[in-house]
Amino acid sequence: MRKLLDKVPLSLLLVLCLTLGLAPFTPQPHVWEKLQMLVAGELVRPIDIFDLLLHATPWMLLILKLSLYRSEES
């Protein structure tokens, strides 16, 4: 998994986070709306769960890549 993540450029992850990770931008980012639903216990429909995974994946990969990069420097 780490080798695969090392092959993905950081710039690509940033672009994915800013586009897919935040789309649609109005009235609020979709990932934020789904996270609010999750906290409220309203995230029950399969399409909403899929939507959260779709929009959160770039963020999760970016966080993972940055944490691995930081651990290498230590």
**Domain regions of the chain by residue span:** 2-73
> Whole-number mean pLDDT of the chain?
90
pTM of the model: 0.84
Cα-based distances in Å from 62 to 12, 20, 27: 10, 13, 24
Residue with tokens 């999750």: 38
Distance CA 57, CA 21 (A): 8
Greater model confidence, 48 or 73:
48
> What average pLDDT score do residues 11-30 get?
89
Q: What is the CA radius of gyration of the chain?
A: 14
pLDDT reading at 42 higher than 80: yes
Q: 54: which 2 tokens?
A: 């779709």
Cα-based distances in Å from 20 to 15, 23, 29: 8, 5, 10
> What average pLDDT score do residues 10-36 get?
89
pLDDT at residue 26, rounded to an integer = 82
